[in-house]
Chain A
Amino acid sequence: MPAPSPRTKGQGATVAKNEVGLDARLKRLEEIVAALDSNTLDLGEALALFEEGVVHLGHARETLARTELRVAELIGPEGDAVGEMRVGDDGGAGDG
């Protein structure tokens, strides 16, 4: 696995908190860990990667701490509108 440059993807605090999904954070963390396990970094790069990893970890844990699932319904003939949806309060009158 090629060692990623520590600066290719937004570094440390510049990673926007809500724009990066859990998947992207975990992938980046994997890259960082792999890079730290290799011997191709100088110590400054290693430190920068470590700090970035800690930021990702923190945000990922915040994501995990969310408790309320939000469900939206795609409406309109083309599915071009979105409406909040409440699920499970109608007593299950459905057919399926």
Chain B
Amino acid sequence: MTDRPLDLFADPAPPDGGAERPPETNRPSRHPPRPRVWTVRQVNRASRLLLEESLPRLWVGGEVANFRRQRSGHCYFTLKDEAAQLRCVMFRRDAVRLPADPDEGMTLRVLGRLTLYEARGVFQLVVSRLEAGSEGGMWKLAFDRLRARLDAEGLTDPGRRRPLPAFPGTVGIVTSPTGAALRDVVAVIARRAPWLRVLVRGTRVQGVGAGEEIAAAVSTLAGVAGMDVIIVARGGGSIEDLWGFNEEAVARAVAGSPVPVVSGVGHETDVTICDLVADLRAATPSAAAEAVAPDRRWVGKRLDAMGRRLGRGLAGQVRSRRWWLDQLGDALFRRGRRRVQRSRDRLEAARSRMASAVRGRIRREAGRLSEAAAALEALSPLSTLARGYAVPLGRDGELLRGVGDFPRGRDFRLRVVDGYVPCAATGRPTDAGPVAEDQGTGGDRGEE
């Protein structure tokens, strides 16, 4: 059909043939031509075919105006330049791949086919691809928009990033179940920390709907009891391939995950929204696995160190007690010595007090002695003798007191002040007259 030249004066030939064909009688003949009446439908059909057949798919550049996304998913807009406008439609199957709606007045280039919407007679471009004229295109636009929103909410704030558990028990992985990324991650964990429990939630990682699947998988794994950390992984690809990881649903799921999320998407140069909200951005899936899985050699060294510290700790406990006992012993010994010294001091003090007391006593006694001696001196008969008295003494020195002691002829001695005088009683003693003045009451007794 396409190689048949279009004859505007021939009957229109709709692609589905038969029913639309005008009756034979309307065919041009030798009769003078009558005005040919086309149906509107025929005209539009012919125009549409003419347009579609004569022009290949075109890239068209211009500014966008009135971009509308219908509930049906189809998008309508106008491309224009200074002089002209072109109506455009992007049907749902292509529009779903559009990462963002373009801004009013944005310079775009679109790839599409010109056609005519027969029902309305409207000339339009059916767009299959839409790219922003600026660098990075619509992807960058969508990325920047979402990023700005997340930034404003603080979800990309580095301060939100949580530390990964040093020794996780359970690791969740969100990735394609058949992809190289999963193999890489599992190989790294198997090498470094094969004791880990690894749970995989397989998803699509590219194409329409991948973002939602990834988001749901993150939420599912985060809800598993004992989950310690989640890896979101995908190998490298074009920005279009990685687009699922730039979707808002993924950002929300990752940011809202109660357990830390490590993003290992693409290669080192690819930064995705998922990377920005994750607790750790790893350059590659393998790097993500290395960040999550502690190296067994390192853990082993740590255990060795711990064992040594345990032993040292216990030894320290014993040592500190021994030291303590030593201190206690020393203190006791010092205290004992001090006590002995104190006793010794007290003894010495008592001794010297006693000595001085004895000396004082002796001095006092000596004084009393000399006083007694003086008194004794005062009582001595010698002083009486000196006054002229004499004391008669018997042969044995006994004192002769009364007349009865002097029988006739008795020899005796008189003690006078300066010696003895031998004497003898020559007569009969007589009683005394009046009592001698110095003999007190003796005279009374003599009178009885």
Q: Which residues of A contact B (CB under 8 A)?
A: 21-23, 26, 29-30, 32-33, 35-37, 39, 41, 43, 46-47, 50, 53-54, 57, 60-61, 63-64, 66-74, 78-79, 82, 85, 87-88, 90, 92-96
Binary contact track B149-184/A, C-beta < 8 Å → 1, others 0? 000000000000000011111000001111111110
Q: Are A74 and B169 in contact (CB under 8 A)?
A: no
**Does B310 have its Cβ within 8 Å of any Cβ on chain A?**
yes
Q: Are B205 and A96 in contact (CB under 8 A)?
A: yes
A–B pairs, 30, beta carbons within 8 Å: A21-B167, A23-B166, A23-B169, A26-B166, A26-B306, A29-B306, A29-B310, A33-B306, A36-B317, A37-B309, A37-B316, A43-B317, A43-B318, A57-B306, A57-B307, A60-B299, A64-B296, A69-B194, A71-B200, A73-B202, A79-B217, A79-B224, A82-B199, A85-B177, A87-B200, A88-B186, A88-B187, A94-B176, A94-B179, A96-B234
Q: Are A57 and B310 in contact (CB under 8 A)?
A: yes
Q: Are A22 and B299 in contact (CB under 8 A)?
A: yes
Query: What are the 7 closest A-B residue pairs judged by CB atoms, nearest first?
Result: A36-B313, A94-B179, A96-B179, A79-B220, A23-B167, A69-B190, A21-B169
The distance in angstroms between the C-alpha atoms of A23 and B303, with both chains bound, is 12
**Does B300 have its Cβ within 8 Å of any Cβ on chain A?**
yes
The distance in angstroms between the C-alpha atoms of A94 and B320, with both chains bound, is 63
The distance in angstroms between the C-alpha atoms of A91 and B297, with both chains bound, is 30
The distance in angstroms between the C-alpha atoms of A36 and B315, with both chains bound, is 9
Closest A residue, CB atoms, query B180: A92
**Does B111 have its Cβ within 8 Å of any Cβ on chain A?**
no
Q: Are B183 and A88 in contact (CB under 8 A)?
A: yes
Interface size on B, residues (CB 8 A): 56
Chain B positions within 8 Å of A67 at CB level:
194
Q: Are A69 and B189 in contact (CB under 8 A)?
A: yes
Q: Are B199 and A74 in contact (CB under 8 A)?
A: yes
The distance in angstroms between the C-alpha atoms of A84 and B304, with both chains bound, is 34
The distance in angstroms between the C-alpha atoms of A74 and B187, with both chains bound, is 19
The smallest beta-carbon distance between B77 and chain A, in angstroms, is 32
Closest A residue, CB atoms, query B314: A50
Q: Are A90 and B178 in contact (CB under 8 A)?
A: yes
Select A73's contact among B165, B200, B303, beta carbons within 8 Å: B200
The smallest beta-carbon distance between B296 and chain A, in angstroms, is 6
**Does B201 have its Cβ within 8 Å of any Cβ on chain A?**
yes
The smallest beta-carbon distance between A40 and chain B, in angstroms, is 11
The smallest beta-carbon distance between B276 and chain A, in angstroms, is 20
**Does B13 have its Cβ within 8 Å of any Cβ on chain A?**
no
Q: Are A72 and B317 in contact (CB under 8 A)?
A: no
- Contacts A37-B316, A61-B303, A69-B186 given; does A43 touch B202 at CB 8 Å: no
Chain A positions within 8 Å of B234 at CB level:
96
